[in-house]
Amino acid sequence: MVEPTTVFAFCIITTAIMAAFLYNLYRRNNIHKINVKTTVLITGCDSGLGYSFARHCNELGMTVFSCVFNENSLGAKDLKSRKNTYVLRLDVTDKKSINNLQANVNKIVTNQQYDFLGIVNNSGVMVFGEFEWLTEDQIDNQINVNFRGVTQVTKAFLPLLRKYKGRIINVSSHCSMVPLPTLSIYAGTKAAIDAWSSALRMELDKFDVKVITLTPGKCSREQT
Protein backbone atom coordinates (compact mmCIF):
# COMPACT_ATOMS: atom_id res chain seq x y z
CA MET A 1 0.00 0.00 0.00
CA VAL A 2 1.28 3.48 -0.85
CA GLU A 3 1.83 5.63 2.21
CA PRO A 4 -0.33 8.80 2.43
CA THR A 5 2.83 10.88 2.82
CA THR A 6 4.14 9.50 -0.48
CA VAL A 7 0.91 10.40 -2.29
CA PHE A 8 0.99 13.87 -0.75
CA ALA A 9 4.63 14.34 -1.83
CA PHE A 10 3.82 13.32 -5.43
CA CYS A 11 0.99 15.86 -5.56
CA ILE A 12 3.10 18.68 -4.14
CA ILE A 13 5.97 17.97 -6.54
CA THR A 14 3.67 17.70 -9.59
CA THR A 15 1.85 20.93 -8.75
CA ALA A 16 5.13 22.77 -8.15
CA ILE A 17 6.52 21.56 -11.48
CA MET A 18 3.35 22.64 -13.29
CA ALA A 19 3.37 26.09 -11.69
CA ALA A 20 7.07 26.56 -12.44
CA PHE A 21 6.56 25.41 -16.02
CA LEU A 22 3.78 27.90 -16.68
CA TYR A 23 5.76 30.69 -15.06
CA ASN A 24 8.90 29.93 -17.09
CA LEU A 25 6.88 29.97 -20.31
CA TYR A 26 6.29 33.65 -19.68
CA ARG A 27 9.85 34.45 -18.76
CA ARG A 28 11.13 32.92 -22.00
CA ASN A 29 8.48 34.38 -24.27
CA ASN A 30 8.46 38.07 -25.13
CA ILE A 31 4.84 37.87 -26.32
CA HIS A 32 3.33 36.75 -23.01
CA LYS A 33 3.71 38.76 -19.81
CA ILE A 34 2.35 37.74 -16.43
CA ASN A 35 -0.42 40.04 -15.28
CA VAL A 36 -4.18 39.98 -14.83
CA LYS A 37 -4.60 40.29 -18.61
CA THR A 38 -2.95 36.90 -19.06
CA THR A 39 -5.45 34.04 -19.08
CA VAL A 40 -5.30 30.27 -18.92
CA LEU A 41 -8.15 27.75 -19.10
CA ILE A 42 -8.00 24.67 -16.88
CA THR A 43 -10.49 21.79 -16.87
CA GLY A 44 -11.33 19.57 -13.92
CA CYS A 45 -10.92 22.22 -11.22
CA ASP A 46 -13.41 20.72 -8.76
CA SER A 47 -10.59 19.08 -6.79
CA GLY A 48 -7.13 17.55 -7.01
CA LEU A 49 -4.57 18.73 -9.54
CA GLY A 50 -6.96 20.95 -11.50
CA TYR A 51 -7.94 22.84 -8.37
CA SER A 52 -4.28 23.18 -7.36
CA PHE A 53 -3.31 24.37 -10.85
CA ALA A 54 -6.06 27.00 -10.81
CA ARG A 55 -4.98 28.33 -7.42
CA HIS A 56 -1.29 28.48 -8.33
CA CYS A 57 -1.87 30.19 -11.67
CA ASN A 58 -4.09 32.74 -9.95
CA GLU A 59 -1.44 33.32 -7.29
CA LEU A 60 1.14 33.89 -10.05
CA GLY A 61 -1.02 36.82 -11.19
CA MET A 62 -2.93 35.28 -14.07
CA THR A 63 -6.65 35.41 -14.73
CA VAL A 64 -7.93 31.83 -14.69
CA PHE A 65 -10.87 30.20 -16.43
CA SER A 66 -11.52 27.39 -13.94
CA CYS A 67 -13.80 24.76 -15.46
CA VAL A 68 -15.77 22.58 -13.05
CA PHE A 69 -18.32 19.81 -13.46
CA ASN A 70 -20.11 20.66 -10.21
CA GLU A 71 -20.50 24.36 -9.47
CA ASN A 72 -21.29 23.49 -5.84
CA SER A 73 -18.11 21.48 -5.23
CA LEU A 74 -15.71 22.65 -2.52
CA GLY A 75 -13.12 23.56 -5.14
CA ALA A 76 -15.62 25.60 -7.16
CA LYS A 77 -16.81 27.46 -4.08
CA ASP A 78 -13.27 28.39 -3.07
CA LEU A 79 -12.28 29.47 -6.58
CA LYS A 80 -15.39 31.67 -6.84
CA SER A 81 -14.10 33.66 -3.86
CA ARG A 82 -10.84 34.53 -5.62
CA LYS A 83 -10.23 37.64 -7.69
CA ASN A 84 -9.52 37.31 -11.40
CA THR A 85 -11.05 33.83 -11.54
CA TYR A 86 -13.95 32.78 -13.74
CA VAL A 87 -15.60 29.56 -12.55
CA LEU A 88 -17.38 28.00 -15.52
CA ARG A 89 -19.31 24.75 -15.72
CA LEU A 90 -18.08 22.21 -18.25
CA ASP A 91 -19.09 18.66 -19.10
CA VAL A 92 -16.37 17.45 -21.47
CA THR A 93 -18.68 14.68 -22.73
CA ASP A 94 -21.34 17.17 -23.85
CA LYS A 95 -20.71 18.94 -27.16
CA LYS A 96 -23.19 21.71 -26.31
CA SER A 97 -21.43 22.36 -23.00
CA ILE A 98 -18.08 22.60 -24.78
CA ASN A 99 -19.43 24.98 -27.44
CA ASN A 100 -21.06 27.19 -24.81
CA LEU A 101 -17.79 27.37 -22.89
CA GLN A 102 -15.81 28.25 -26.01
CA ALA A 103 -18.23 31.01 -26.97
CA ASN A 104 -18.23 32.42 -23.44
CA VAL A 105 -14.44 32.38 -23.09
CA ASN A 106 -13.90 33.83 -26.57
CA LYS A 107 -16.30 36.68 -25.76
CA ILE A 108 -14.58 37.45 -22.44
CA VAL A 109 -11.07 37.30 -23.93
CA THR A 110 -12.08 39.61 -26.78
CA ASN A 111 -14.06 42.12 -24.72
CA GLN A 112 -11.51 42.32 -21.91
CA GLN A 113 -8.55 42.32 -24.33
CA TYR A 114 -6.95 39.39 -22.56
CA ASP A 115 -3.90 37.46 -23.74
CA PHE A 116 -4.81 33.76 -23.97
CA LEU A 117 -1.92 31.59 -22.80
CA GLY A 118 -3.55 28.25 -23.45
CA ILE A 119 -5.51 25.34 -22.04
CA VAL A 120 -4.74 22.63 -19.50
CA ASN A 121 -6.73 19.47 -20.22
CA ASN A 122 -6.90 18.00 -16.75
CA SER A 123 -10.39 16.45 -16.54
CA GLY A 124 -10.29 12.72 -15.95
CA VAL A 125 -12.01 9.77 -14.31
CA MET A 126 -10.59 6.49 -13.02
CA VAL A 127 -12.54 3.31 -12.29
CA PHE A 128 -10.75 0.46 -10.52
CA GLY A 129 -11.74 -3.04 -11.59
CA GLU A 130 -10.61 -5.88 -13.78
CA PHE A 131 -11.64 -5.32 -17.39
CA GLU A 132 -14.13 -8.21 -17.40
CA TRP A 133 -15.94 -6.75 -14.39
CA LEU A 134 -16.38 -3.23 -15.74
CA THR A 135 -19.80 -2.23 -17.05
CA GLU A 136 -20.17 -0.72 -20.51
CA ASP A 137 -21.05 2.62 -18.91
CA GLN A 138 -17.87 2.55 -16.81
CA ILE A 139 -15.77 1.79 -19.87
CA ASP A 140 -17.47 4.38 -22.08
CA ASN A 141 -17.30 7.10 -19.44
CA GLN A 142 -13.54 6.74 -19.01
CA ILE A 143 -12.98 6.82 -22.77
CA ASN A 144 -15.33 9.78 -23.27
CA VAL A 145 -13.92 11.88 -20.43
CA ASN A 146 -10.23 10.96 -20.55
CA PHE A 147 -9.71 10.93 -24.30
CA ARG A 148 -12.63 12.00 -26.46
CA GLY A 149 -13.48 14.93 -24.18
CA VAL A 150 -9.90 16.18 -24.30
CA THR A 151 -9.84 16.09 -28.09
CA GLN A 152 -13.19 17.89 -28.35
CA VAL A 153 -12.24 20.66 -25.92
CA THR A 154 -8.93 21.15 -27.73
CA LYS A 155 -10.60 21.27 -31.15
CA ALA A 156 -13.09 23.88 -29.96
CA PHE A 157 -10.31 26.17 -28.75
CA LEU A 158 -7.89 25.76 -31.66
CA PRO A 159 -8.92 29.04 -33.37
CA LEU A 160 -8.20 30.96 -30.15
CA LEU A 161 -4.95 29.05 -29.57
CA ARG A 162 -3.72 29.82 -33.10
CA LYS A 163 -4.62 33.49 -32.73
CA TYR A 164 -2.65 33.91 -29.50
CA LYS A 165 0.02 31.26 -30.22
CA GLY A 166 -0.95 29.50 -27.03
CA ARG A 167 -0.09 26.18 -25.42
CA ILE A 168 -1.98 22.94 -24.97
CA ILE A 169 -1.03 21.02 -21.84
CA ASN A 170 -2.50 17.53 -21.65
CA VAL A 171 -2.39 15.78 -18.29
CA SER A 172 -1.46 12.14 -18.86
CA SER A 173 -0.47 9.55 -16.24
CA HIS A 174 2.37 7.23 -15.29
CA CYS A 175 -0.14 4.47 -16.13
CA SER A 176 0.34 5.31 -19.81
CA MET A 177 3.91 4.02 -19.53
CA VAL A 178 3.45 1.39 -16.80
CA PRO A 179 -0.07 -0.03 -17.14
CA LEU A 180 -1.42 -1.61 -13.97
CA PRO A 181 -3.97 -4.38 -13.40
CA THR A 182 -7.50 -3.13 -12.61
CA LEU A 183 -6.67 0.06 -14.54
CA SER A 184 -6.58 -1.30 -18.09
CA ILE A 185 -9.11 1.12 -19.60
CA TYR A 186 -7.75 4.13 -17.71
CA ALA A 187 -4.20 3.27 -18.81
CA GLY A 188 -5.39 2.85 -22.39
CA THR A 189 -7.01 6.29 -22.43
CA LYS A 190 -3.86 7.92 -21.10
CA ALA A 191 -1.68 6.09 -23.63
CA ALA A 192 -4.03 7.43 -26.30
CA ILE A 193 -3.50 10.95 -24.93
CA ASP A 194 0.28 10.50 -25.24
CA ALA A 195 0.09 9.26 -28.85
CA TRP A 196 -2.44 11.88 -29.93
CA SER A 197 -0.42 14.67 -28.28
CA SER A 198 2.74 13.59 -30.11
CA ALA A 199 1.01 13.75 -33.50
CA LEU A 200 -0.84 16.97 -32.68
CA ARG A 201 2.43 18.59 -31.63
CA MET A 202 3.78 18.14 -35.15
CA GLU A 203 0.55 19.32 -36.78
CA LEU A 204 0.39 22.55 -34.78
CA ASP A 205 4.08 23.41 -34.95
CA LYS A 206 3.48 25.46 -38.11
CA PHE A 207 1.12 27.69 -36.10
CA ASP A 208 3.62 28.09 -33.24
CA VAL A 209 1.16 26.36 -30.91
CA LYS A 210 2.99 24.11 -28.46
CA VAL A 211 1.62 20.79 -27.21
CA ILE A 212 2.93 19.48 -23.90
CA THR A 213 2.11 16.32 -21.97
CA LEU A 214 2.37 16.31 -18.18
CA THR A 215 2.82 12.88 -16.60
CA PRO A 216 2.13 12.96 -12.85
CA GLY A 217 2.27 10.08 -10.41
CA LYS A 218 -0.47 9.07 -8.02
CA CYS A 219 -2.23 12.03 -6.41
CA SER A 220 -4.92 12.49 -3.82
CA ARG A 221 -8.25 13.55 -5.33
CA GLU A 222 -8.83 16.01 -2.51
CA GLN A 223 -5.31 17.46 -2.62
CA THR A 224 -5.35 21.26 -2.47
> Which of 26, 51, 164, 186 is flagged as catalytic?
186
CATH number of the domain that residue 171 is part of: 3.40.50.720
Does 51 qualify as catalytic in the annotation? no
Q: Give residue-wise pLDDT tens across range 149-204.
A: 999 999 999 999 999 999 999 998 887 677 788 989 999 999 999 999 999 999 99
Q: What is the pLDDT of residues 22-70, one digit of tens each?
A: 666 555 454 557 899 999 999 999 999 999 999 999 999 999 999 999 9
Q: Do the domain assignments include residue 224?
A: no
Q: Which three-class secondary structure state does DSSP give residue 168? A: strand
Q: What is the pLDDT of residue 63?
A: 97
Name the percent of the chain lying above pLDDT 90.
75
Tally of domains within the chain: 2
pLDDT at 173: 82
The verdict on 80 and 62 lying in the same domain is yes
The chain-wide mean pLDDT, for the chain, equals 89
User: Residue 18 sits in which domain range?
Assistant: 1-31
Do 14 and 118 lie in one domain? The reply is no
Full DSSP string of 106-126: HHHHHHHT-EEEEEEE-----
